[in-house]
């Protein structure tokens, strides 16, 4: 009689594990045929389970924008106009050709009207802001908020910006000759104070109190830590699970802080008949008009808070990093710094030594320096658009399916030698009127483009220029030994940040 062989528990478990592993690998391989079946070239060979855009633990960690730039460069070498990548199992459509980018951001906006950004209005009200929302709600808020950022409104906010910039000068003077200036810290304080004043009508006093609550909340909005990375992953790749679990991107503490600030400010203004020229006042007036007209839909306190929060959060990080990177480049290039300072003084002489809105507008080289900073260090180094209905690429039979996220690699475009020769060099003259006219459209996108162009573009540029003008009028900047050259980019951040900080030596040129 034959002897039956009995499998041990270990052998059974090993067989089950092996079978599961084979099934998972086959499933991944099937998923990775997505772009090939649509005749769209791959960004590179996928690695299980990470996909093609990032290989964590297999290579040095880099910012996701650099990973997307690598994909862009790989496609460009192969003369591809676009390509398909994967972030884990999720397909991502990577744009290369400026014409294709124009179609998605502007011409065919109706097909790509959403940002691929998770928000949870119920548990995380401030996440449901103008940046993230879509559809009719986005159009309503966009229409109502746009008047807050006209050139006329910028003129009205100018005096607040100037006041904050003078406080920044005083803070730098206190630091002079004591230690290297922490440029990121000083510019964060400046932008927090400007936004607190122009957005909320609040004096944040960040220079007098380095741990001011507004500043701490601004940092929290962008701070990355393991648990938050997990929440972001859930929100972006498993949104239904994130909704079920009540995942919050910004946390209950931040939500409670900003909702309380808005509630208290509205109550104070209404009780004391106070009317200020800021973003919050505009939203208060819109809400009051809705109530007077007995409209069915009235802006809630949470909806108002979400809009002023994104103005605060986005303006804080993007403007402070732009100002920091600009000062770094000026310290590195003394000739450019001197040329810009000469322009500032020349224009001030024309305006009776008064720094006014009109004076800032007359500083043409200032505009070129800031534009070149935004080219080399775009604070938002890539943007995304979600396909909201099946889209056929013009003049092809290629279809982009509804739900696919298109990636516009801003940093890659800005560092493409076809559009910007010697892209790693800091050359403000790239943005003279003559050079700009030669350049292909949709190759310079620091604020995005199309209907979802950054609504705060004018505000961000103005506060950066005011800060620069006041600092360069008073001080000369040079590199300190603590600053690493070239700068390394922090891999775990929303925006572009200098990994080891930016430290400069400062010389008071007015005192001399």
Tokens of 428: 């403000």
- Domain membership of residue 3 (yes or no) is no
CA-CA distance, 2 to 182, in Å (whole number)?
Answer: 82
- Domain membership of residue 485 (yes or no) is yes
How many domains are there within the chain?
1
Known binding residues: 454
- Domain membership of residue 372 (yes or no) is yes
Which one of 140-144, 415-419, 508-512 scores highest in mean pLDDT?
415-419
CA-CA distance, 251 to 467, in Å (whole number)?
Answer: 31
- Domain membership of residue 427 (yes or no) is yes
Q: pLDDT band for position 55 (50/70/90)?
A: low
Q: Return the ∠ at Cα 246 (arms to 244 and 248), rounded to 5°.
A: 140
- Domain membership of residue 108 (yes or no) is yes
Residue ranges making up the domain that contains 242: 9-508
End-to-end CA distance of the chain: 107
pLDDT of residue 5: 59
Q: pLDDT band for position 512 (50/70/90)?
A: low
CA-CA distance, 225 to 232, in Å (whole number)?
Answer: 11
CA-CA distance, 168 to 153, in Å (whole number)?
Answer: 23
pTM above 0.95, yes or no: no
pLDDT digits (tens, 9 = 90+) for 170-207: 999 988 667 799 999 999 999 999 998 988 888 888 88
pLDDT above 90: residue 511: no
pLDDT digits (tens, 9 = 90+) for 67-115: 999 999 999 999 999 999 988 888 999 999 999 999 999 999 999 999 9
Going by their DSSP bridges, the two strands 405-408 and 90-95 should be labelled as: parallel
Residue 169 contacts residue 474 (beta carbons within 8 Å): yes
pLDDT above 80: residue 7: no
- Domain membership of residue 2 (yes or no) is no
pLDDT digits (tens, 9 = 90+) for 280-324: 888 888 888 888 777 777 789 999 999 999 888 888 889 999 999
CA-CA distance, 252 to 235, in Å (whole number)?
Answer: 16
pLDDT digits (tens, 9 = 90+) for 211-252: 677 778 777 776 777 777 778 777 777 778 888 888 888 888
Residue 453 CB: number of other CB atoms within 10 A?
Answer: 13
Strand partners, 51: 47, 87
**Which whole number is the average pLDDT over 162-169?**
95
Distant-in-sequence, close-in-space partners of 140: CB < 8 Å, separation ≥ 6: none
Known binding residues for heme: 454
DSSP-based three-state secondary structure for 312: helix
CA-CA distance, 381 to 220, in Å (whole number)?
Answer: 20
Indicate the average pLDDT of the chain: 90
Instruction: Please report, for the domain that includes residue 159, its CATH number.
Output: 1.10.630.10
pLDDT above 60: residue 57: no
pLDDT of residue 2: 60
The helix or strand, by DSSP H or E, that contains position 476, with its residue range, turns out to be: strand 475-479
- Domain membership of residue 1 (yes or no) is no
Higher pLDDT, 113 or 62: 113
pLDDT of residue 346: 98
pLDDT of residue 184: 93
pLDDT above 90: residue 24: no
457, 460, 461, 462: CA torsion to nearest 10: 120
Residue 385 contacts residue 406 (beta carbons within 8 Å): yes
């Amino acid at each position: 009689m034959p002897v039956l062989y009995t499998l041990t528990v270990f052998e059974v478990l090993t067989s089950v594990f092996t079978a599961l592993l084979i099934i998972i690998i086959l499933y991944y391989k099937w998923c990775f045929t997505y772009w090939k079946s649509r005749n769209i070239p791959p960004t590179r060979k996928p690695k299980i389970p990470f996909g093609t855009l990032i290989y964590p633990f297999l290579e040095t960690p880099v910012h996701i924008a650099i990973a997307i730039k690598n994909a862009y460069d790989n496609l460009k070498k192969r003369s591809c106009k676009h390509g398909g990548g994967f972030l884990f199992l999720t397909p991502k459509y990577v744009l290369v050709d400026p014409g294709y980018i124009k179609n998605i951001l502007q011409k065919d906006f109706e097909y790509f009207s959403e940002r691929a950004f998770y928000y949870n209005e119920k548990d995380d009200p401030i996440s449901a802001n103008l940046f993230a929302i879509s559809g009719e709600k986005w159009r309503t808020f966009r229409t109502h908020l746009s008047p807050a950022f006209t050139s006329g409104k910028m003129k009205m906010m100018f005096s607040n910006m100037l006041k904050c910039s003078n406080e920044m000068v005083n803070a730098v003077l206190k630091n002079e000759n004591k230690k290297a200036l922490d440029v990121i810290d000083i510019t964060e304080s400046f932008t927090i104070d400007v936004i607190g004043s122009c957005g909320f009508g609040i004096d944040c006093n960040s220079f007098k109190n380095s741990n001011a609550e507004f500043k701490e909340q601004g940092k929290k909005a962008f701070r990355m830590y393991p648990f938050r990375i997990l929440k972001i992953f859930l929100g972006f790749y498993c949104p239904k699970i994130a909704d079920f679990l009540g995942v919050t991107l910004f946390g209950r503490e931040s939500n409670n802080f900003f909702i309380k600030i808005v509630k208290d400010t509205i109550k104070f203004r209404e009780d004391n008949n106070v009317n200020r020229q800021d973003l919050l006042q505009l939203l208060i007036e819109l809400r009051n008009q809705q109530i007077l007209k007995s409209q069915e839909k009235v802006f809630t306190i949470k909806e108002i808070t979400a809009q002023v929060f994104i103005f605060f959060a986005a303006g804080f990080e993007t403007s402070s990093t732009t100002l920091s990177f600009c000062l770094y480049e000026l310290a590195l290039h003394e000739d450019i710094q001197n040329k810009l300072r000469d322009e500032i003084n020349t224009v001030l002489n024309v305006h009776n030594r008064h720094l006014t809105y009109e004076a800032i507008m007359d500083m043409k080289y200032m505009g070129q320096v800031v534009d070149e900073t935004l080219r080399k260090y775009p604070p938002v180094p890539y943007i995304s658009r979600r396909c909201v209905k099946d889209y056929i690429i013009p003049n092809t039979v290629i279809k982009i399916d509804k739900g696919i996220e298109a990636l516009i690699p801003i940093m890659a475009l800005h560092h493409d030698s076809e559009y910007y020769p010697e892209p790693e060099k800091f050359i403000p003259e790239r943005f003279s009127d003559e050079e700009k006219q030669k350049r292909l459209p949709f190759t310079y996108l620091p604020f995005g483009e199309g209907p979802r162009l950054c609504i705060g573009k004018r505000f961000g540029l103005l506060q950066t220029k005011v800060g620069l003008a006041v600092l360069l009028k008073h001080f000369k900047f040079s590199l300190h030994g603590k600053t690493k050259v070239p700068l390394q980019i922090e891999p775990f951040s929303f925006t572009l940040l200098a990994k080891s900080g930016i430290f400069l030596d400062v010389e008071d040129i007015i005192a001399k």
